[in-house]
Structure formats: C-alpha cells, structure tokens
Amino acid sequence: MNDSILRRNPLAGALLCGALLASLSGCVEMVVGGAVMGAVAASDRRTLGAQTEDKAIDVKSKAKLRDIVGERAHVDVNSYNRRVLLTGEVPDAGMKAAVEREVQAIDGVQSVVNELEVAGPSSYTSRSSDALVTTKVKASLVDMKTISANSFKVVTERGTVYLMGRVTQREGDLATDVTRGVSGVQKVVKLFEYISEDEARRLQPLQQPSQPAQDQPRTLPVVTEVQTSPVVTESVPNNN
C-alpha cells in the first residue's frame, strides 16, 4: 500500500498501525479504538437485527465446532447478513462436510460457502501475515472515497482475500481492483450481495465521492466471484 494513503487518511493509518502493533504483541486479532469501530457500525448496511444474528451465528458456530474439530483443525467462521463463510484447514473431507453441516443447521443461517482446505493447520506466521493483509486491504478501501468501505467485510486465508458485503456492482468492482493491488494478496474471492445504486444512496445519504488513489502497477492476483443466488464463479487472470 502506498505511503501516501497513510498521510491522506488518518483512519487508514490507524488501521495499519493497529495491525502492526497486534503482530508485534502476538495477537492475531486487531483491536482498534472506539472512534474507528463507531464509524464502522454507523455505516453498516445490514439491519440491526442482521448484525445481531451474525454475531450470534459466529458464537454458536465456534461453540458447536469446538467438539467437532478440537485441536486437529483450524476453522474460521465469518457471517455477514446471515451468509456464512468457512475458511481454514481440516484433516479430511469428512470433517469438512461435518463442519458445513453443523453450521448450516444453526438458526438464522441462510447459506454457507465452504472454503475449507484439506490440509494441516496453518502456522502462526501465516495467520499473522493474513491478519496484516486484511488490515492493509481495509485501509486501502477506507482511502477509496467513491465506495462505502464500511460496507465490506474482509477475510484473508493463506493469502486469499474474501470480500463480503451489501454493495453495488460498481463498488464491488472497484473494491476488487483495489484489493488486487495490495501487497501480499494472492487471490480475491467475491462473496457480494448486490444492491442497487438507489438503495445504496438511501442507506448512505451523506457519502461524498472523490477520486481514488493510484497505486504503483504490479502483477495482480486472480479474482473469483461466488454468489449465493444464482451461484456464479468467475476467474479473472492476471493482467500482466
């Protein structure tokens, strides 16, 4: 990410600094200040009920999966607007299917995207790197004034960035392009729930557009798009 982003946008700088401090202290999850989190919550396009259900789904999933995976696997559960993304590593296909089955059975879950890999658990170094990539992507999205950055949820697993959110087609395409330009990103997977531009304006009437920042050109990762209804997978090759 270009250093100019940090100079132009203090929030982006705060996000990145928080991730660096978290990595140095041995914490994988980043905790940011109340002002930053308040700004994120204020522009969330999910209803309050959906936000509450997503938190409940995350908690229930972790409780149910504790008995299934134990110490044998590394499974992350992320719910956005009642649509659940499963990432991480499991020892065999049977456990992969069992995890999906248990999560799908939780009240409120509308759909599950199972991106679990049959492999050994990732290392602490890999997870720390993923956490830093997630934060750099978030900071880059914050710097893009032509999109609602807080309407996106970013998850990174082994260098693959998953983008979730209730966004317009335009916002989704712009966010994907920005994410592909972040160092450390190997692949981008889109898991968007698309809304119209009119609905986006109603949800965020005070949003003010401006010109996006220009990153230095580099080799870009591929992009995969997954939608729940209908299901569409799209692979975009590198431009170079």
Sequential DSSP letters for 128-169: HHHHHHHHHHHHHHHH-TTS-GGGEEEEEETTEEEEEEEE-H
Indicate if the pLDDT at residue 226 is higher than 60: yes
CA distance linking residue 141 with residue 172, whole number of Å: 11
pLDDT number for residue 28 = 42
Residue 35 has pLDDT above 80, yes or no: no
Q: What φ, ψ does residue 5 adopt, rounded to 5°? A: -60, -45
Q: Tell me which residue of 134, 160, 138, 135 sits closest to 151, measured CA to CA.
A: 138
CA triplet 235, 74, 184: central angle to 5 degrees? 45
Model confidence at 232, pLDDT cuts 50, 70, 90, reads very low
pLDDT in tens, 172-225: 999 999 999 999 999 999 999 999 999 998 986 444 444 555 555 566 676 777
For 74-103, how does the pLDDT look when each residue is reduced to its tens digit (9 = 90+)?
A: 999 999 999 999 999 999 999 999 999 999
Residue 112 has pLDDT above 80, yes or no: yes
Residue pLDDT, tens place only, 162-174: 999 999 999 999 9
CA–CA separation, 68 and 78 (whole Å): 18
Residue 201 · residue 168 · CB < 8 Å: no
Q: Does residue 51 have a pLDDT over 80?
A: yes
The per-residue pLDDT for range 4-18, each reduced to its tens digit, is 554 555 555 555 555
